[in-house]
Amino acid sequence: MGALRVLLALSVVLSHVGGFFGNYLAGGFASVEMFYIISGFYMATILTEKYDPRRDIGIFFSNRFLRIYSIYFLCLLISLAAYAVIYLRGHGGWIAYVIQMAPTMTWAGKAWLILTNLFIFGQETTLFMKFDGGRLVFTPDGPGGPTPLWFMMPVPQAWSISLELMFYCLVPFLIRNTTRILVFIMAVTFLLRAAIYSAGYDIDPWVGRFFPLELGLFVMGMVARRLYDAHIGAISRNVQISVVVLFLGITCILMSIFETLEARYALPMIYAVWAYHFMALFALPCLFQLTRYSKLDSAIGNFSYPVYMIHWIVLMFYEAFAERFQWPATGSWIKSVACVAVTFFLAWLIVISVEVPLDRYRQRRLARTADIARNMARA
């Protein structure tokens, strides 16, 4: 599923840089939520095939956190260095905003922002809060306003990784449940989502950023894995290929489909995207079966997380120096190509220097744990 993950990461990048000739592929919102479903599928897979959710819970947590935090901290350091260049060159940016707002903040607010930036957990809460006399106060109406709190986050897109980490904490326990219970959890979260949306909260940040509503998508991925185990053998390869081609084709034009549905039929995107989610229930098992032994697909998939984590600072750097060097502004395909190219180049450097060596180390740790377990079983 590596190619799909990179396609989704590219969709997020395009949603931030202004698209490419009006094309945003799947769009940022739908892509992030599809990542949740893929994460559920993948976690169910490795807890089925690699880890024992009862015996290996420690090594599971440490290996997952090792991957997430190593790349996060590297991207955080790169971002801070780039922000320093932007500030020293007189273009303001994140450092100028922090200098402006920090003196007005309470110690509790400062501590919260420092902790969330260090540990990722809780970063999505910055989208539910605003400044009020230096205090952080809850606001249900979104992250807007003249002084958005999320501007204080040097890697603001990491809010979605906070939700991923919360799911990682739950998945070793969720995996022990029957498929019926997982389907029940999924149904309850979708009903809760419908209730909250119908109450008028079908707006950012409730859409995509509130973990109790998003848990159902992670669980949906787990259910898709159960469908794979139960039925993939009965599906012919030609049918699998047809399903995957259709799903990937729709992913490439998904944002255009949503815009058409909203313009012609007044169907809000947040509801139309549900159909895309449920397509994944059937498409992901087929995609996994077709690509699970592909080294090329795995290598491509290694780019998805670094691309997602590094693209924002590339965009900020471009915009900071665009006027000075007369680079094309928002809406230009040149800007999109430049930001995407630099993002993928930096992601490639991260993959070869951190991602691949770290993955080998994590696999060695897992192998040692398995050897110890086998030796104890023989004793």
Q: What percent of the chain has pLDDT over 70?
A: 96
Report residue 235's pLDDT band, with 50, 70 and 90 as the boundaries. Answer: very high
Contact 247, 287 (CB under 8 A): yes
Residue 210: DSSP 8-state: -
Please check the confidence at residue 129 and state whether its pLDDT lies above 90: no
Question: What is the reported pLDDT for 171?
Answer: 96
Question: Is the residue at 337 inside a domain?
Answer: no
Among 264, 132, 139, 274, CA closest to 201? 139
Task: Name every residue whose Cβ is closer than 8 Å to that of residue 233 and which is 6 or more positions away in sequence.
Answer: none
Task: Answer yes or no: is 192 within a domain.
Answer: yes
Task: Yes or no: say if 169 and 58 are a contact pair by the CB < 8 Å rule.
Answer: no
On the question of pLDDT at 143 being above 80, the answer is no
Average pLDDT over residues 153-170: 96
The token pair that represents 7 in the structure block: 């396609």
Is 70 exceeded by the pLDDT of residue 360? yes
The whole-angstrom separation of Cα 325 and Cα 318 is: 10
Largest Cα span, the chain: 71
Q: Which residue has the tokens 């930096």?
A: 346
Range of the domain at 64: 26-288
In terms of pTM, does the model score above 0.75? yes
For 167-224, how does the pLDDT look when each residue is reduced to its tens digit (9 = 90+)?
Answer: 999 999 999 999 999 999 999 999 999 999 999 888 888 988 999 999 999 999 999 9
Identify whether 226 is part of a domain: yes
Based on the structure, what is the number of domains in the chain?
1
- Check whether 378 has a pLDDT greater than 70: no
pLDDT at 259: 87
Whole-number Cα distances in Å, 6 to 45, 195, 249, 280, 347: 19, 33, 14, 16, 11
Confirm whether 352 is domain-assigned.
no
State percent of the chain over pLDDT 90: 69
pLDDT confidence of residue 326: 86
Whole-angstrom distance, CA of residue 146 vs CA of residue 207: 21
Residue 208 counted as domain residue: yes
CA angle 182, 229, 248 (to 5 degrees): 90
Question: Can you tell me whether residue 20 is helix, strand or coil?
Answer: strand
Query: Residue 280 has which token pair?
Result: 């994944």
Residues in the chain: 379
pLDDT confidence of residue 87: 95
Q: Which residue has the higher pLDDT, 307 or 322?
A: 307
Given a cut of 70, is residue 375 above it in pLDDT? no
Segment 1-49, tens digit of pLDDT: 999 999 999 999 999 999 998 899 999 999 999 999 999 999 999 999 9
Between 294 and 262, whose confidence is greater?
294
174, part of any domain: yes
- With a cut of 80, say whether residue 146 has pLDDT above it: no
At 267, the amino acid letter reads: L
Q: What is the mean pLDDT of residues 111-132?
A: 91
Look at residue 300 and tell me if it is in a domain: no
CA distance 11 to 255: 9
Indicate whether 376 pLDDT > 60.
no
Choose among 129, 215, 233, 127: nearest CA to 174.
215
Neighbours of 14 (CB within 10 A): 23
For residue 371, the model assigns a pLDDT of: 65
Long-range CB contact pairs, 279-283, < 8 A, 24+: 279/247, 279/250, 280/34, 280/37, 280/38, 280/220, 280/221, 280/224, 280/247, 281/220, 281/223, 281/224, 281/227, 282/224, 282/227, 282/243, 283/243, 283/244, 283/246, 283/247
**pLDDT class for 370, splitting at 50, 70, 90?**
low
Averaged confidence pLDDT in the chain:
91
pLDDT tens digits, one per residue of 97-108: 999 888 988 898
d(CA 33, CA 288): 18
Say which amino acid occupies 277: H
**In a domain? residue 311:** no
Span of 142-151, 205-214, 368-377 with lowest mean pLDDT = 368-377
pLDDT at 239: 96
d(CA 39, CA 60) in angstroms, rounded, equals: 14
Q: How confident is the model over 57-92, as pLDDT tens digits?
A: 899 999 999 999 999 999 999 999 999 999 999 888
**CB-based contact 32:211 (threshold 8 Å):** no
Q: Does residue 345 have a pLDDT over 60?
A: yes
CA dist 175 and 347 (Å) reads 32
Query: Regarding predicted confidence, which is higher, 249 or 268?
Result: 249
